[in-house]
Amino acid sequence: MVADSFSHVTTWVFDLDNTLYPPSARLFDQIEVKMTDWVMRTLNVDRAEADRLRALYWDSHGTTLAGLMEVHGIDPDGYLYDVHDISVHPLEADAVLADRIAALPGRRIVYTNATEPYARNVLAARGLSEVFDAVYGVEHAGFQPKPRRAAFDAVFAADGLDPATAAMFEDDARNLAVPHDLGMRTVHVAPTPIKAAHIHHHTDDLSDFLSQLGGLAAARDGATS
């Protein structure tokens, strides 16, 4: 049973974008337009070059922001505010998902390469504001992005979690490599599975996957009664 693989987990770490809401909401389409426009204005380049740099920095630095900071020395605050100033109206509240996350035994946190304020706006739109114990953004990692080990180390140290008793849910497969190496249980949340040693589980439906873990809390209560 899937639940057996999570019997030791006491901290549940969730990515945000395209993990806690379906990719069909296409929020990141809005963000990509904002990023491209910002790069055009700030670096004084045309749209084609801005798109090229955005993709290049995401691939080579982990995020577009990291590349902009390290190659061009930009200040992250203005960029982060601008690119995350989007509409969350495409999102719908999901009471079933909220209940299934809330049923997970232990501590539940969000860790995103976006910002905490943006994450909280998304969680509110999804009806998930009350089910998480903490929300961490890229600012809590000193603007170091996932998939870098330093980013995970900073956020996990701030939270005080033990990777050996934690699980990570993430849509970007490369962001599961470090959690796997740290000893976490890893779940790739994406339409298409990827075969890789650092991915323990795959699902294209987070809520359905969590429904398979619904008996964990009762099992632990029974074991300690």
| Parallel/antiparallel/unpaired status of strands 185-189 and 134-136 | unpaired
Cβ atoms 19, 176 nearer than 8 A: no
The tens-digit pLDDT sequence of the chain (225 residues) is 899 999 999 999 999 999 999 999 999 899 999 999 999 999 999 999 999 999 999 889 988 999 999 999 989 999 999 999 999 999 999 999 999 999 999 999 999 999 999 999 999 999 999 999 999 999 999 999 999 999 999 999 999 999 999 999 999 999 999 999 999 999 999 999 999 999 999 999 999 999 999 878 666 655 554
Q: What is the CA radius of gyration of the chain?
A: 18
Q: Mutual orientation of helices 47-61 and 27-43 as an angle, nearest 10°?
A: 110
Per-residue model confidence (pLDDT) at position 222: 58
**Domains contained in the chain, CATH given:** 2-22+92-224 (3.40.50.1000), 27-83 (1.10.150.450)
Cβ neighbours for 11, distance < 8 A, ≥ 6 positions apart:
106, 107, 108, 109, 159, 161, 162, 165, 166, 167
* CA angle, 150 then 154 then 159, to 5°: 150
Per-residue model confidence (pLDDT) at position 225: 45
Integer Cα distance of 43 and 217 in angstroms? 52
Per-residue model confidence (pLDDT) at position 39: 94
* CA angle, 222 then 102 then 8, to 5°: 50
What pTM was estimated for this model as a whole?
Answer: 0.93
β-bridge mates for residue 188, sequence order? 170, 202
Cβ atoms 147, 133 nearer than 8 A: no
Question: How many CB atoms within 10 Å of residue 60?
Answer: 11
